[in-house]
Amino acid sequence: MRVHVDPDLCIGCGICEGNAPDVFSLAASAIAEVIMDPVQPDFEEDARSAAEDCPEGAIVIENGEDSETPTPPAADSADDAEEFTNENDLERKFEMKATVDQDLCIGCGICEGVVPEVFSLQSEPYAEVLLDPIPEEFQDAVREASEECPESAISIE
C-alpha cells in the first residue's frame, strides 16, 4: 500500500501524524509528509485511519491500480444548508465572539489553518483567539473552523 499527501489540500493539522506517526510527519514541513513509502503491512490500518480522519481529504491511499481519496462530509440536505444560511445572516447583525475550551483543544491547528487571522497556536499548546469581537470578514471562516474542530473545542457567541 502507498499513501500520498496532496500539498494543496493539507492544512498541517497533524491528525495524520497523531494517527500514524510511523507513516506521516510534520517535523520538517508545515504540511504532512509521508515517511514510510510503501506503507508496511503493520502500519496500513493506522494509515487508513489517518486518511479517514483527515479533515481536508488530503491523503490518498493507493492499492495497486485503485486509489481512495476520502472526501469531507457534505451538507445533509438543501434544507439544512438554507437553514444554516438564514441563521448565519441573523448572527451577522450582532457581534461575534469565539472561545476555545482549553480542556478540549488538542492543538491540532485546524482552526489556525482555516483562519490564522483569528486563531493561533504560537504561544500555547492549545488554540488562542486573537480577535475579540470577530470582524465580519472572518465570521464565516470562524464558523467553518468551529465545524471542522475534531474535539468541538470552539464555541461561538
Specify if 139 maps to a domain: yes
Residue 111 CB burial class (10 angstroms; 0-12, 13-18, ≥19): buried
CATH number of residue 151's parent domain: 3.30.70.20
Mark which of 68, 88, 121 sits at the end of a domain: 68
Q: What is the grid cell recorded at 120? A: 493561533
The pLDDT of 42-54, averaged and rounded, is 91
Angle ∠(30,36,37) on CA atoms, nearest 5: 110
Same domain, 101 and 61: no
Look at residue 73 and tell me if it is in a domain. Answer: no
For range 17-27, the mean pLDDT: 88
pLDDT at 103: 92
104-138 residue pLDDT tens: 999 998 999 999 999 998 877 899 999 989 999 99
The verdict on pTM exceeding 0.85 is no
Same domain, 40 and 92: no
Asked if residues 134 and 118 have their Cβ atoms less than 8 Å apart, the reply is: yes
Residue 35 domain-assigned?
yes
Instruction: Report the C-alpha gap between 106 and 72 in whole angstroms.
Output: 20
CB 112 within 8 A of CB 65: no
Helix ranges (DSSP H) in the chain: 15-19, 44-53, 78-91, 110-114, 136-148
State mean pLDDT over 34-45.
Answer: 92
Domain count, the chain: 2
Average pLDDT over residues 70-94: 46
